[in-house]
Each structure stands twice: as structure tokens, then as C-alpha cells.
Amino acid sequence: MISVDGVETDFQQLEFPKKTYKLGYSFSTYVQSKNTLVLTDRLAHTVYMYDTVKGTSRAVTNGNIQGPRGACVGPGDTVMVCSKNMNSVVHLTVDGDFLCTYPVDMKLPCSICVSRDRTRLAVSNSAKGASKLQLYKIQHTLNN
């Protein structure tokens, strides 16, 4: 980890699997308020959630998670992941609970980010000859 001040430290209690990924086969994000590191594994169709304080981990698999690529912190400190093979975005809690799937108007979504004010979602894809960048408005409901 690198702090805002530039101080580098290791995750003390966290042990990662001994696995090597080729470029583009795993992406990550960090949910700071929940001390959760998120890693995607495209070939295993899995999203890993690591609690960096407790040293625990959880592998999240779901029929909606197929070829996960980019991940980002979503509204309410949730996690949003591109499901490349399903042409959608999967919304998860940091505990790995499935919240929802959002279809996107593009093939092979791969990169995702949410604006600082958590009101906009940007998704881009990796489809050759059909590149897209979509911007979505995030609407909060009473259930959020």
C-alpha cells in the first residue's frame, strides 16, 4: 500500500495465492473505507475480495460474472465489475453479495470508473472496430 504521503507498507495479514496473470487478465480496485482489496480473475470467472485488516478473503463466483475485467468502487462503498462475456456490469457488496446486473449497450466491456461524487458511471469496451465509451447517470433509489 502507498499512503497519501507516499509511505509504502505491506498488507500485514494478507496472503495472496501464488498465481501469475498475463496482461489484461486481472484488474483491481481498493475500497478504502472497508479496507477491501478487489481483484478480478478473467479466466476463473471470479472476483476476489480481500479484507486487508482481518487478513480474510472471499472468492465470488456468480453466473453473471463471466470474464470479469475492470473493477471500481461504486456508490455506498460497493464494487462494480465489468462482466466482459455477459456485456454487463455486476454490482457487488464488499462482502461479495450480489446486488444487481446492469446490461450495457456495448460488446466486451472492460474498463469502468465512477465519478468522485458517485453520480456518473463510465464504461469502455475492447471490441475491435466497435469501440465505445458510455457515460451513465447513477440514480439513487430508496433501496440504496
Per-residue pLDDT 10s for the chain (144 aa) are 777 788 887 776 777 778 899 999 999 999 999 999 999 999 999 999 999 888 889 999 999 999 999 999 999 999 999 999 999 999 999 999 999 999 999 999 999 999 988 899 999 998 888 999 999 998 876 454
109-114 and 78-83 strand pairing: unpaired
Question: What residues contact 25, with CB distance under 8 A and at least 6 apart?
Answer: 41, 42, 43
**Do the beta carbons of residue 80 and residue 88 sit within 8 Å?**
no
Q: Which three cell numbers mark 21?
A: 496473470
Where exactly are the structural domains of the chain?
28-137
What CATH number was assigned to the domain covering residues 28-137? 2.120.10.30
For residue 50, give the nearest of 23, 26, 66 by alpha carbon.
26
- Sign (positive or negative) of CA dihedral 114, 71, 98, 76: negative
